[in-house]
């Protein structure tokens, strides 16, 4: 099979299209012929040598795929050869074939192409795990999504709005803000020209945000604490502007705030399986019904992976970047 090799760490140019043996599924795994694979920030960090794959995971990059199942490992019950699935992978997605845990597979939602389905798993697993499981967002509560025009952000806005929450978002241009509002954000704040703390406070009558999903870090950490409502929950999933910050912790105590965060890839298989079950029951009907849809920024052939990473690092895109295999 063809796959993207990473012979050394560095910039996008270090990735190379290579040929190697097709993997074989282990117990509890399925082998997917990959039609498309999503590109995510953790891929960038792995390419740079700062996010090694967990023990036993494929060294090939790529954390989400869509395609058809071509082989079954022992102990796989639900899936059959020929089933069309999208799946959260532990690695190996940048290839023509990838082994994934059967419990991390989901059916391709009605009405979506395999390319669109490849944009779902990593993003939707991350949003559900952090916004709904960890932060416990409830209908009627107020969610603030930083990076609202990213793959994570566009998913979070749509899911939270569809499930009954008020949503605000930040983004870096008027075009991105307009895209966030089109997806259901009550108000999108251009962080280059506006203060999100003041805007959200005014729009909520001083209440603030019950849940804040942050991938920025840096000085946003203290500003999130300022903005959070009483009993608010702040979830960090990345620190694009730095993880070492100085903050005033007194409001955390006074407002009874919860500061938390997570990474998805190292979590136990049982945890990921539970997230998959929740998504299938709560979110997949919304996808099949057309109430939410993955936002596609760009689709590129596997061989143009360097261009895909450059686009991701430019932060000029709105939505998901996906690599495709010609099949």
Any idea where the domains of the chain sit in the sequence? 2-120+266-324, 124-261
Burial of 82 (0-12, 13-18, 19+ CB in 10 A): exposed
CB 96 within 8 A of CB 32: no
Note the CATH architecture for domain 2-120+266-324: Alpha-Beta Complex (3.90)
Burial of 61 (0-12, 13-18, 19+ CB in 10 A): buried
pLDDT at 326: 78
Pairwise CA distance, residues 260 & 183, whole Å: 26
Residue 69 bridge partners (DSSP): 32
Alpha carbon dihedral 148, 154, 158, 160, in 10-degree steps, equals -50
* Equal fold, 2-120+266-324 vs 124-261: no
Q: Give 110-113's long-range contacts (Cβ < 8 A, gap of 24+).
A: 110/287, 110/288, 111/287, 111/288, 111/290, 112/287, 112/293, 112/294
pTM here? 0.96
Distance in Å from the first CA to the final CA of the chain? 12
Note the CATH architecture for domain 124-261: 3-Layer(aba) Sandwich (3.40)
Pairwise CA distance, residues 130 & 213, whole Å: 8
pLDDT at 258: 98
Burial of 80 (0-12, 13-18, 19+ CB in 10 A): exposed
Alpha carbon dihedral 116, 275, 52, 212, in 10-degree steps, equals 90
pLDDT per residue, tens digit, the chain (327 aa), is 999 999 999 999 999 999 999 999 999 999 999 999 999 999 999 999 999 999 889 999 999 999 999 999 999 999 999 999 999 999 999 999 999 999 999 999 999 999 999 999 999 999 999 999 999 999 999 999 999 999 999 999 999 999 999 999 999 999 999 999 999 999 999 999 999 999 999 999 999 999 999 999 999 999 999 999 999 999 999 999 999 999 999 999 999 999 999 999 999 999 999 999 999 999 999 999 999 999 999 999 999 999 999 999 999 999 999 999 975
Cα of 169 vs its chain's centroid, Å: 16
């Amino acid at each position: 099979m063809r796959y993207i090799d990473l012979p050394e760490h560095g910039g996008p140019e270090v990735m190379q299209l290579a040929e190697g043996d097709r993997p074989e599924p282990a117990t509890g795994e399925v082998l997917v012929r990959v039609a498309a694979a999503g590109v995510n920030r953790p891929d960038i960090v792995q390419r740079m040598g700062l996010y090694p794959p967990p023990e036993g995971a494929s060294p090939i990059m790529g954390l989400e795929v869509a395609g058809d199942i071509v082989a079954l490992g022992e102990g796989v019950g639900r899936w059959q050869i020929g089933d069309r699935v999208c799946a959260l992978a532990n690695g190996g997605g940048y290839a023509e074939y990838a082994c994934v845990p059967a419990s991390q597979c989901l059916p391709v939602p009605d009405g979506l192409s395999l390319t669109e389905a490849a944009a779902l798993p990593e993003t939707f697993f991350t949003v559900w795990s952090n916004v709904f499981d960890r932060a416990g967002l409830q209908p009627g509560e107020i969610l603030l999504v930083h990076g609202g025009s990213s793959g994570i952000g566009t998913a979070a806005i749509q899911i939270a709005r569809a499930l009954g929450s008020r949503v605000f978002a930040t983004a870096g241009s008027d075009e991105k803000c307009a895209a966030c509002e089109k997806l259901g954000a009550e108000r999108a704040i251009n962080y280059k020209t506006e203060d999100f703390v003041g805007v959200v406070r005014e729009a909520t009558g001083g209440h603030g945000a019950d849940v804040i999903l942050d991938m920025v870090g840096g000085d946003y950490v203290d500003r999130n604490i300022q903005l959070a409502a009483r009993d608010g929950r702040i979830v960090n999933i990345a620190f694009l502007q730095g993880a070492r910050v100085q903050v005033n912790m007194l409001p955390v105590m006074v407002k009874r705030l919860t500061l938390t965060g997570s990474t998805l890839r190292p979590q136990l298989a049982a945890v990921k399986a539970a997230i998959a079950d929740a998504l299938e029951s709560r979110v997949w009907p919304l996808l099949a019904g057309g109430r939410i849809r993955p936002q596609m920024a760009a689709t590129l052939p596997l061989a143009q992976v360097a261009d895909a990473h450059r686009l991701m690092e430019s932060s000029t895109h709105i939505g998901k970047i996906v690599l495709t295999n010609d099949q």
